[in-house]
Protein backbone atom coordinates (compact mmCIF):
# COMPACT_ATOMS: atom_id res chain seq x y z
CA UNK A 1 0.00 0.00 0.00
CA UNK A 2 1.28 3.44 -0.92
CA UNK A 3 1.95 5.72 2.02
CA UNK A 4 0.06 9.00 1.79
CA UNK A 5 2.44 11.81 0.88
CA UNK A 6 3.20 14.84 3.02
CA UNK A 7 1.86 18.20 2.00
CA UNK A 8 3.67 21.51 2.55
CA UNK A 9 2.31 24.26 4.77
CA UNK A 10 1.88 27.45 2.79
CA UNK A 11 3.84 30.41 4.19
CA UNK A 12 1.45 32.72 5.96
CA UNK A 13 1.28 36.45 6.55
CA UNK A 14 3.22 37.30 9.74
CA UNK A 15 0.18 38.45 11.74
CA UNK A 16 -1.79 35.26 11.13
CA UNK A 17 -1.82 32.73 13.96
CA UNK A 18 -3.63 29.79 12.34
CA UNK A 19 -1.56 27.18 10.55
CA UNK A 20 -3.64 27.88 7.44
CA UNK A 21 -3.63 25.80 4.29
CA UNK A 22 -1.20 23.64 2.37
CA UNK A 23 0.38 24.78 -0.88
CA UNK A 24 -2.17 22.64 -2.75
CA UNK A 25 -5.12 24.09 -0.86
CA UNK A 26 -5.99 21.61 1.93
CA UNK A 27 -6.65 22.65 5.51
CA UNK A 28 -3.16 22.03 6.96
CA UNK A 29 -4.63 20.79 10.27
CA UNK A 30 -6.45 17.95 8.49
CA UNK A 31 -3.58 16.41 6.47
CA UNK A 32 0.01 15.41 7.17
CA UNK A 33 1.95 18.58 6.41
CA UNK A 34 5.56 19.71 6.77
CA UNK A 35 7.02 23.20 6.73
CA UNK A 36 8.56 24.76 3.66
CA UNK A 37 11.98 24.65 5.34
CA UNK A 38 11.61 20.93 6.12
CA UNK A 39 10.71 20.30 2.50
CA UNK A 40 13.83 22.04 1.17
CA UNK A 41 15.99 20.16 3.73
CA UNK A 42 14.33 16.90 2.72
CA UNK A 43 15.02 17.56 -0.95
CA UNK A 44 18.66 18.37 -0.19
CA UNK A 45 19.24 15.29 1.95
CA UNK A 46 17.18 12.69 0.02
CA UNK A 47 17.54 14.05 -3.49
CA UNK A 48 14.75 15.16 -5.81
CA UNK A 49 13.46 11.69 -6.77
CA UNK A 50 13.09 10.21 -3.28
CA UNK A 51 11.71 13.50 -2.00
CA UNK A 52 9.10 13.45 -4.81
CA UNK A 53 7.89 10.01 -3.64
CA UNK A 54 7.22 11.36 -0.15
CA UNK A 55 5.81 14.80 -0.93
CA UNK A 56 2.70 16.04 -2.71
CA UNK A 57 3.70 17.08 -6.24
CA UNK A 58 1.41 20.13 -6.37
CA UNK A 59 2.79 21.34 -3.01
CA UNK A 60 6.39 20.80 -4.18
CA UNK A 61 5.90 22.69 -7.43
CA UNK A 62 3.94 25.51 -5.81
CA UNK A 63 6.33 26.10 -2.92
CA UNK A 64 9.20 26.53 -5.38
CA UNK A 65 7.26 29.14 -7.35
CA UNK A 66 6.51 31.44 -4.41
CA UNK A 67 8.58 33.23 -1.81
CA UNK A 68 7.72 34.20 1.74
CA UNK A 69 6.91 37.49 3.49
CA UNK A 70 10.59 37.64 4.52
CA UNK A 71 11.65 37.33 0.85
CA UNK A 72 9.35 40.16 -0.27
CA UNK A 73 6.22 41.34 1.57
CA UNK A 74 4.79 42.76 -1.67
CA UNK A 75 4.87 39.36 -3.37
CA UNK A 76 3.36 37.67 -0.30
CA UNK A 77 0.44 40.13 -0.24
CA UNK A 78 0.03 39.74 -4.00
CA UNK A 79 -0.26 36.00 -3.63
CA UNK A 80 -2.89 36.34 -0.91
CA UNK A 81 -4.90 38.81 -2.99
CA UNK A 82 -4.86 36.47 -5.97
CA UNK A 83 -5.81 33.51 -3.78
CA UNK A 84 -8.68 35.13 -1.90
CA UNK A 85 -10.17 36.73 -5.00
CA UNK A 86 -9.69 33.46 -6.89
CA UNK A 87 -8.20 35.22 -9.88
CA UNK A 88 -6.89 32.33 -11.90
CA UNK A 89 -7.15 31.89 -15.63
CA UNK A 90 -9.14 35.07 -15.94
CA UNK A 91 -11.96 33.84 -13.70
CA UNK A 92 -12.94 35.05 -10.27
CA UNK A 93 -14.43 33.00 -7.46
CA UNK A 94 -15.95 33.97 -4.17
CA UNK A 95 -15.71 30.81 -2.06
CA UNK A 96 -12.45 31.70 -0.31
CA UNK A 97 -13.84 34.00 2.32
CA UNK A 98 -12.88 37.55 3.16
CA UNK A 99 -10.06 37.15 5.71
CA UNK A 100 -7.51 39.26 3.83
CA UNK A 101 -10.07 41.98 3.14
CA UNK A 102 -10.97 42.10 6.87
CA UNK A 103 -7.27 42.19 7.79
CA UNK A 104 -6.56 45.06 5.40
CA UNK A 105 -9.49 47.07 6.79
CA UNK A 106 -8.20 46.41 10.34
CA UNK A 107 -4.70 47.51 9.28
CA UNK A 108 -6.18 50.72 7.87
CA UNK A 109 -8.01 51.39 11.17
CA UNK A 110 -4.87 50.65 13.22
CA UNK A 111 -2.78 53.00 11.09
CA UNK A 112 -5.32 55.77 11.51
CA UNK A 113 -5.30 55.23 15.28
CA UNK A 114 -1.47 55.26 15.39
CA UNK A 115 -0.58 57.56 12.49
CA UNK A 116 2.57 59.10 14.04
CA UNK A 117 4.00 55.73 15.05
CA UNK A 118 3.33 54.40 11.54
CA UNK A 119 5.07 57.34 9.84
CA UNK A 120 8.01 57.17 12.28
CA UNK A 121 8.46 53.43 11.64
CA UNK A 122 8.56 53.99 7.87
CA UNK A 123 11.13 56.74 8.36
CA UNK A 124 13.30 54.56 10.66
CA UNK A 125 13.19 51.61 8.24
CA UNK A 126 14.12 53.88 5.34
CA UNK A 127 17.09 55.34 7.26
CA UNK A 128 18.27 51.87 8.29
CA UNK A 129 18.11 50.67 4.68
CA UNK A 130 20.02 53.74 3.41
CA UNK A 131 22.67 53.24 6.10
CA UNK A 132 23.10 49.57 5.11
CA UNK A 133 23.36 50.54 1.43
CA UNK A 134 26.00 53.19 2.20
CA UNK A 135 27.99 50.71 4.27
CA UNK A 136 27.86 48.13 1.44
CA UNK A 137 28.94 50.76 -1.12
CA UNK A 138 31.93 51.74 1.04
CA UNK A 139 33.02 48.10 1.30
CA UNK A 140 33.01 47.72 -2.50
CA UNK A 141 35.17 50.80 -3.08
CA UNK A 142 38.82 49.90 -3.63
CA UNK A 143 41.28 51.44 -1.17
CA UNK A 144 42.70 54.78 -2.39
CA UNK A 145 45.89 54.50 -4.43
CA UNK A 146 48.94 56.16 -2.94
CA UNK A 147 50.10 59.23 -4.92
CA UNK A 148 53.66 57.99 -5.04
CA UNK A 149 55.27 54.66 -4.50
CA UNK A 150 57.42 54.65 -1.40
CA UNK A 151 61.08 55.14 -2.28
CA UNK A 152 63.45 52.29 -1.57
ZN1 LIG B 1 -0.33 19.07 -1.33
pLDDT averages per 10-residue partition of the chain, 152 residues: 84 94 94 96 96 96 95 95 81 83 97 98 96 92 70 65
Q: Would 45 be classed as within a structural domain?
A: no
State the distance from the centre of ligand 1 to the C-alpha of 104, rounded, in angstroms.
28
State the distance from the centre of ligand 1 to the C-alpha of 136, rounded, in angstroms.
41
Q: Would 10 be classed as within a structural domain?
A: no
Q: Would 75 be classed as within a structural domain?
A: no
pLDDT at 28: 95
Q: Would 109 be classed as within a structural domain?
A: yes
Total domains, the chain: 1
State the distance from the centre of ligand 1 to the C-alpha of 1, rounded, in angstroms.
19
How far apart are alpha carbons 143 and 137 in whole angstroms?
12
State the distance from the centre of ligand 1 to the C-alpha of 31, rounded, in angstroms.
9
State the distance from the centre of ligand 1 to the C-alpha of 81, rounded, in angstroms.
20
Distances (CA, A) of 84 to 4, 68, 92, 98, 134: 28, 17, 9, 7, 39
Structural domain for 109, as ranges: 99-140
86 Cβ contact list (under 8 Å, min separation 6) = 92, 93, 94, 95, 96
State the distance from the centre of ligand 1 to the C-alpha of 25, rounded, in angstroms.
7
State the distance from the centre of ligand 1 to the C-alpha of 30, rounded, in angstroms.
12
pLDDT at 127: 97
Q: Would 92 be classed as within a structural domain?
A: no
Contact status, residue 107 vs residue 80, Cβ threshold 8 Å: no
Q: Would 123 be classed as within a structural domain?
A: yes
Q: Would 128 be classed as within a structural domain?
A: yes
Amino acid sequence: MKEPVDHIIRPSLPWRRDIGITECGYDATKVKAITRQSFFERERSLGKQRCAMLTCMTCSDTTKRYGTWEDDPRAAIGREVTWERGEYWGRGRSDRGTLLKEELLAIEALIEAHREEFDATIQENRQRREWIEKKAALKQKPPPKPDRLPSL
